[in-house]
Structure 1
Amino acid sequence: MIDPSAPPQVQGVVRLPVGPGAGRFLVLLVVFVCAACGLVYELELVALASYLIGDSVTQASVVLSVMVFAMGLGSLLAKQLRCHAAVGFGFVEAALALIGGCSALVLYAAFAWLGEARYALVAFSLAIGVLIGAEIPLLMTLIQRTSRRGGRTGTDEDAACTVADLFAADYVGALVGGLAFPFLLLPWLGQLSGALLTGAVNVVAGGALVLWLFRGDMSARSRWWLLVANLTVLAVLATATVLVADFEAAARRAVYGERVRVAVRTDVQEVVLTGVGHGPPDLFLDGRLQVDGHHGARDHRALVAPAMRSGRHARVLVLGGGDGLAAREVLRYAGVREVTVVEIDPEIVHLARTDPALSALNAHVYRDPRVKVVHADAFSWLRSPGAARGAYDVVVSDLPDPGTTPGTKLYSQEFYGLAACVLADGGRLVVHAGAAAARPHTFWTVEATIRAAGFATRPYRVPPPADRGFVLAFAGARGAPPAPGPGVVDLGFRRPRGLPPSTLLHPRYAE
């Protein structure tokens, strides 16, 4: 609440409890803290939206463009508060701390209970952007107040130095916030608690500055309302922090049902395993179903069998597939001497080894001495010396769908070119290519990309009503490759013409 009876700050006498140098330093310190908090809010929105909605490039573009636009609006709106800059800044920071600190909670709640987080994402980006945009004009007024107390004349040179100092503190704070989010807040606290802690730091810094340093520029009534607002925000953030574990459990049940048995956030992704007792489990990675306990055997059999039946299969490479189901299908065939599983997330392999239901589903495949596990990114590993050229008869690509931006490089022409290098003469590559009916553009783009890498291809799917599409590819084959075999539906006759391949520099998997 801004009290009109408070002394105006543009022309009035400044009463500060410290000297001008110390006052200027304190304002710049708060600029630094606020900039760090603002960037954390921004990155938290991008990260959570990418996880909940997918396609991180699109989500980052939406958040950044909306926030930059809103910052311009906030700067214009802040002109109305310049005559009461101290109390205005205090309320702006209280609102920013509350909205930014709770944004992750509300965004995840919208996804869990409403099934849609896009509108909440845009609303939070707009609100946070407006409040961040209002900070700089108000802070500029406050820092000029400290200079005026020191007897400065307000020359152009003084104004230029003030702007330089303020933006230097702002940019350095943004750097610290940008580094703190992925390296400290996200791994140690997670997205929800990290955002709440950031909000608490934000409100303490903003409230302390105006309630102590600029208390003489506010009426008693304004100070009282600002103190109540800050304490209320802190109470809300503290309560949310205490309840965040219960909230996560309730939201997870809303998303995955009541059968959640394992839920862990690894360095790579969120891993959720559902199922009752020793029944067939479902495995979700970042909210997307990776293993269907009731149909996983059929789907992985359809993935592996056509490639294994088409020629030699002594040495097999599985890219992804840490759940062990693809390796289980590979080991069903006589003559397999070695299976190398390249899985980036050790936690998936640990679950596949130790969870009773999941290890039963994969037939305890990791106990087999023929199975070797390499924990590495598949793309990077294919480029490394560990990926021997011409060493494998079959390469099975059992990777998450290409609908998320981090996965597009694993469905690129360059990736399939690297896979071709590790195949022996007459080797086969088989790729899980997503939903053939629900996402036909993505499915056929995968097929076109594999062909562009020099393979002859046979696209196929499991029989309806299931919607799992695959591509069987033959390295260096001449003419039409053989059919994928019984038990699957050959889709070669449906191949569209003219689809360009997806590359690292030009990903083409947006529907």
Structure 2
Amino acid sequence: MVKIKYEYLFLITIFIISTCGLIYELIAGTLASYLLGDSITQFSLIIGIYLFSMGIGSYLSKFFQSDNLIKRFIEIEILIGLIGGLSAPLLFLIFNRVDFFEFYLYFIVFVIGCLVGLEIPLLMNILKDKFQFSTLVSNVFTFDYIGALIASILFPVFFIPYLGLIETSIVFGIVNISTGLLMCFLLEKEIRGSYFLKFKGFFSLLILIVTLWFASKILSFSEKNLYGENIVFSKTTKHQRIVLTHERKNFNLYLNNNLQFSTFDEYRYHEMLVHPTMSLANKIDHVLILGGGDGLAAREILKYQEVKTITLVDLDEEMTRLFQKNQLFVKMNNASLQHQKVKIINKDAFAWLNERNHKKYDVVIIDFPDPSNFSLGKLYTNSFYASLQKVLSKEAVVVVQSTSPFFAPKSFWCIHKTIQSEFVTAVPYHVYLPSFGEWGFTLTANYDYDNKIKRKIPNLKFYNYNLDNFTYFSKDMLINEVEINKLNNQKLVAYFNAEWSNY
């Protein structure tokens, strides 16, 4: 009976240890990406620190005395649950309130990693006299890796969309502590001072339960301090954190802590994104929008009666659903995503372009987020633009959102040069946006189109149908030596992160 109890209890514990440990690591990486940007650097650093600290913890395990290993193991389990459970709410609360936020982030990751690194060696020492060594090692590592796999699958698919970062952190902390308490009760005859150990476990559990109760208020408070504006809507999807704030008469949309648009001046951006291309194209029967899940580009395109179909490809189904169903968002895009001419496809644009049997499009509006990581950077590569050629009609005209030529000139001209490598014509232009500063675009086609206006929409707020007014670049926005952005190097991501890190 004792052997059966030990076997099942400790194998389940190994599974929980591995799952919870990886969840804390993923939470730290995701939170750092949300708050600090540059997800590649953040995940790389956090993974490296976590693995290094696990090694430190494993080394320190040899200093633990063998006569009270079970008690020490349970104490560590409770401590990991408390620290890991409180990690996300604590980091959200101190962001923008402390200098060197990165130090606190990496220190918490280091502490959790050390404690997790302590657990498995201690566990193996506890069980070494009860099982054959080969069986012990194989069982421990099998359940360890299974737990890691399940955590990595469920984290983006279930926990982040349905619980959120703070709640996920606390829930797994509760799981950690509950596991420790379960071991206290099942093995209390082998533990000296089990009553005090139970008290520590229940007290830690109470702290997390109370924190879970106030989780939504903690997030609202921290985001209000972060944005300095009234938050009227927030939601975490599988792909991003969506926050809408209200300030005076304006609404501001943030994706992963980055301002996406402000209703104060978004009309300038979307008029310059859409109308130069639509006015110069020979035909506009079939229009493709890549990105643009907010429906604001579609709103501008629908002003042209000639348009027969609009296909919108955006990765985030939650994003397009919000701007299709939520009345606050629907008002912003004039219900464009409900229009019968609009077809929404929720897929990765890179993968979608490589599917077969696409129809040809006369106009393509590319409105992706800035290339802050490799998953976005691939959408600005020469491979992506080569794939785009397959869906273009003979005289198609394309426009690409190309970030700021003032704040990130290398990034802007890298996008331009990459487009030039795949298209006959590439015309860069820019516009001033009060919310963002100078912002750039690239208009491109596979033929030498004339600059003659084919059609106009009356009563636009900003664009005057004279593109030449927006094609002049001052010296401080010009960069000559940049490389083409390719899939195997993603130079654009390096340019972008280096330039925007200064702001």
In the alignment, is residue 242 of structure 1 matched against residue 213 of structure 2?
yes
Who wins on radius of gyration, i.e. which is larger? 1
**Matches for 1:93-492 after TM superposition, within 5 Å:** 93-111=77-95, 113-114=97-98, 117-147=101-131, 158-210=132-184, 212-213=186-187, 215-220=188-193, 223-275=194-246, 279-314=249-284, 315-333=286-304, 335-356=306-327, 358-366=329-337, 368-385=339-356, 387-388=358-359, 391-463=360-432, 466-477=437-448, 485-491=467-473
C-alpha contact 1:35 1:170 (8 A) present in aligned 2 = yes
Identity percentage of aligned residues: 31
Report whether the alignment pairs 1:82 with 2:51: no
Task: Report if aligned partners of 2:362, 2:395 keep a CA contact under 8 Å in 1.
Answer: yes
User: Aligned partner of 1:33: which letter?
Assistant: I
Secondary structure of the structure 1 residue equivalent to 2:425: strand
What is the CA–CA distance in structure 2 between the aligned matches of 1:143 and 1:418, rounded to whole Å? 56
Cα deviation 1:308-335 (Å, max 9, x = unaligned):
2333142321111122222233344564
Deviation digits for residues 197-220 of structure 1, max 9, x if unmatched? 11111122234325542x445433
Contact 1:284–1:291 under 8 Å retained in 2: yes
With over 3 angstroms needed to count, the CA separation of the structure-2 counterparts of 1:186 and 1:372, relative to structure 1, is: closer
1:348 to partner: Cα distance: 3.3
The 2-side partners of 1:128 and 1:481 are apart by 63
Q: Secondary structure at the match of 1:281?
A: strand
Give yes or no for contact 1:280–1:361 (8 Å, CA) kept in 2.
no
Distance 2:101 2:357 in 1: 42
> Which residue identity does 2:377 align to in structure 1?
T
CA 26–362 in structure 1, closer or farther in 2 if over 3 Å, else same:
closer
Q: Distance in 1 between matches of 2:247 and 2:50?
A: 44
Structure 2 CA distance, aligned partners of 1:266 and 1:475? 37
In the aligned structure 2, how far is the partner of 1:360 from the partner of 1:33? 46
Does 112-121 or 181-190 show the bigger shift? Answer: 112-121
Q: CA deviation at 1:86?
A: 1.8
Moved more, 496-505 or 352-361: 352-361
Return the alpha-carbon distance in structure 2 between the equivalents of residues 298 and 360 of structure 1: 18
With normalisation by structure 2, the TM-score equals 0.86
C-alpha contact 2:220 2:231 (8 A) present in aligned 1: no
What per-residue deviation string (whole Å, max 9, x for no partner) do you get for residues 360-404 of structure 1?
44344346544333333322222234631xx22221111111113
Against the structure 1 CA distance between its residues 463 and 178, is the aligned structure 2 distance closer, same or farther, given a 3 Å change threshold?
A: closer
CA contact (8 A) 1:27 1:142 kept: no
Distance change >3 Å, CA 490–CA 329, structure 1 → 2: farther
Q: Note closer, same or farther for the CA distance 1:29–1:375 as it changes in structure 2 (3 Å cut).
A: closer
SS in 2 for 1:262: strand
Counterparts of 2:153 and 2:342 in 1: how far apart (Å)? Answer: 39
Of the structure 1 ranges 302-311 and 346-355, higher mean CA displacement relative to structure 2 is found in 346-355
Structure 2: any 5+ residue segments left out of the alignment?
454-464, 499-503
Residue 7 of structure 1 corresponds to none
**Structure-1 residue corresponding to 2:14:** 31
Alpha-carbon distance in 1 for matches of 2:9, 2:304: 71
The CA deviation at 1:462 is: 0.6
* 1:410-447 residue CA offsets vs partner (Å, 9 max, x unmatched): 22222211222222223221111112222223222222
Q: CA deviation at 1:471?
A: 1.4
Cα deviation for residue 473 of structure 1 reads 1.6
Quote how far apart the aligned CAs of 1:67 are. 0.9
How far did 1:409 drift? 2.0
Alpha carbons 2:229, 2:247 under 8 Å: kept: no
| CA shift in 2, pair 1:463/1:249, >3 Å | closer
Q: d(CA) in 1 for partners of 2:60 and 2:338?
A: 65
Q: Secondary structure at the match of 2:488?
A: coil
Would the alpha carbon gap of residues 69 and 266 (structure 1) be closer, same or farther in structure 2, given more than 3 Å must change? closer
**Cα 1:371–1:22 shift into 2, 3 Å:** closer
| Contact map agreement 1:50 1:56 (CA 8 A) in 2 | yes
* 1:67 match: secondary structure: helix
Instruction: Provide structure 1 residue ranges, at least 5 long, that are not aligned to the other structure.
Output: 1-17, 148-157
- The answer for the alignment partner of 1:14 in structure 2 is none
What residue identity is the alignment partner of 1:296? E
* CA positional deviation for 1:63: 1.3
Instruction: State whether residues 447 and 459 of structure 1, in contact with CA within 8 Å, keep that contact through their aligned partners in structure 2.
Output: yes
Q: Encode CA deviations 1:148-171: one digit per residue, 9 max, x unaligned.
A: xxxxxxxxxx33333233222322
Q: In 2, Cα distance between the equivalents of 1:363 and 1:90?
A: 58
Contact 1:187 1:267 in 2 (8 A): yes
State the SS of the aligned residue for 1:490.
coil
- Secondary structure of 1:373's partner? strand
Task: Say what the alpha-carbon RMSD is for the aligned residues.
Answer: 3.0
> Does 2:36 correspond to 1:53?
yes
Q: CA deviation at 1:66?
A: 0.5
SS in 2 for 1:450: helix
> How big is the shift at 1:143?
0.5
Residue by residue, what CA displacement relative to the aligned partner does 1:104-149 show, whole Å, maximum 9, x if unpaired?
A: 11222233655975333311221111001111221111112445xx
CA contact (8 A) 2:291 2:367 kept: yes
Cα separation, partners in 2 of 1:110 and 1:457, compared to 1, 3 Å: farther
Q: Structure 1 residues 292 and 361 mapped into 2: Cα distance closer, same or farther (>3 Å)?
A: same
- Counterpart residue number, 2:485: 502
> CA contact under 8 A between 2:180 and 2:201: conserved in structure 1?
no
Measure, in 1, the Cα distance between the counterparts of 2:125 and 2:338: 68
Distance, in Å, in 1 between the alignment partners of 2:141 and 2:277 is 59
Displacement of 1:238 in angstroms is 0.7
